[in-house]
Amino acid sequence: MNKLNHIYEWHPGRTKAPTLLLLHGTGGTEHDLLELGAALLPGAHRLSPRGNVDENGMARFFRRLSEGVFDLDDLAFRTKQLETFVLDASKDYGFDPRRVVAVGFSNGANIAASLLLSGSPVLCGAVLFHAMVPFVPESPLNLTGTSVFLGAGERDPLVSVAQTRQLSDLLEKAGALVTLSWQPGGHQLTRPEVNAAADWLQQGEQLWNSKDSII
């Protein structure tokens, strides 16, 4: 579908279930994380947009200048665009925008982290698989009531251990409740990582009764 500002897939879940905002990695599509979302939190609504940036035929959620170097102006624009997409979708499909949990891998995790660090009101939590620090906020940030699962690889060639710890520290200092899950692999999803994220989501779902709920 393409009636909002992204091409996307929408799959409704149970009444009053939270909504998973599924954000693919570089070169992915709106279809990539649908099965993962269903496995992570059965019965959740699933909203899965395709990134609007084309990099040599590969879809991304924002531009980069080189590997690991982001176009910060474009990142800010695309982050706001994604926020608008979620708010507009919530009106069209009737889900609560205060009960949206982002699930992102790599580039998708980076734009989800940007939503958090920009103080966007649309996320109550996030599962970030192999995320970098998209930017460091200039102003104090209040993420009290927001829960974040960080999945990281100890031998990830793209996201260093130091960068993962920096992102965790930024989120925690802003008041977020962070769960950091290390796996021995590199820059790919592993079964233990997915299982850990599923346990985290499923244990916390019953507590998502308001924007201020935490996992």
Per residue in 25-65, pLDDT (tens digit) is 999 999 999 999 999 999 999 999 999 999 999 999 999 88
Whether the Cβ atoms of residue 62 and residue 94 lie closer than 8 Å to each other: no
As a whole number, mean pLDDT of residues 136-163 equals 93
Distance, CA of 176 to CA of 98 (rounded, Å): 15
**Which residues pair with residue 29 across a beta bridge?**
none
Percent of the chain with pLDDT over 70: 93
Does residue 215 belong to any structural domain of this protein? no
As a whole number, mean pLDDT of residues 1-5 equals 67
Write the CATH number for 178: 3.40.50.1820
Whether the Cβ atoms of residue 112 and residue 123 lie closer than 8 Å to each other: yes
Query: Residue 166: what pLDDT?
Result: 97
Bridge-based pairing state of the strands 53-55 and 100-105: unpaired
The answer, yes or no, to whether residue 89 has pLDDT greater than 70, is yes
Task: Give how many domains the chain has, as a whole number.
Answer: 1
Q: Which of 21, 131, 28, 121 is nearest to 70 (CA)?
A: 131
The answer, yes or no, to whether residue 77 has pLDDT greater than 60, is yes
Could you tell me the pLDDT band of residue 205, with boundaries at 50, 70 and 90?
low
Does residue 212 belong to any structural domain of this protein? no
Question: Which one-letter amino acid corresponds to residue 119?
Answer: G
Query: Residue 15: what pLDDT?
Result: 85
Does residue 1 belong to any structural domain of this protein? no
Q: What is the pTM of this model?
A: 0.93
Q: Report, as residue numbers or ranges, the catalytic residues.
A: 106, 156, 187
Distance, CA of 174 to CA of 166 (rounded, Å): 12
User: What is the domain extent for residue 79?
Assistant: 8-207
Does residue 123 belong to any structural domain of this protein? yes
The model's pLDDT over 171-186, given as tens digits with 9 standing for 90+, comes to 999 999 999 999 998 9
Helix 161-173 to helix 107-117 angle, to the nearest 10 degrees? Answer: 30
The answer, yes or no, to whether residue 206 has pLDDT greater than 90, is no
Does residue 94 belong to any structural domain of this protein? yes
The model's pLDDT over 105-149, given as tens digits with 9 standing for 90+, comes to 999 999 999 999 999 999 999 999 999 999 999 888 999 989 999
Does residue 117 belong to any structural domain of this protein? yes
The answer, yes or no, to whether residue 1 has pLDDT greater than 80, is no
The answer, yes or no, to whether residue 154 has pLDDT greater than 60, is yes
Does residue 27 belong to any structural domain of this protein? yes
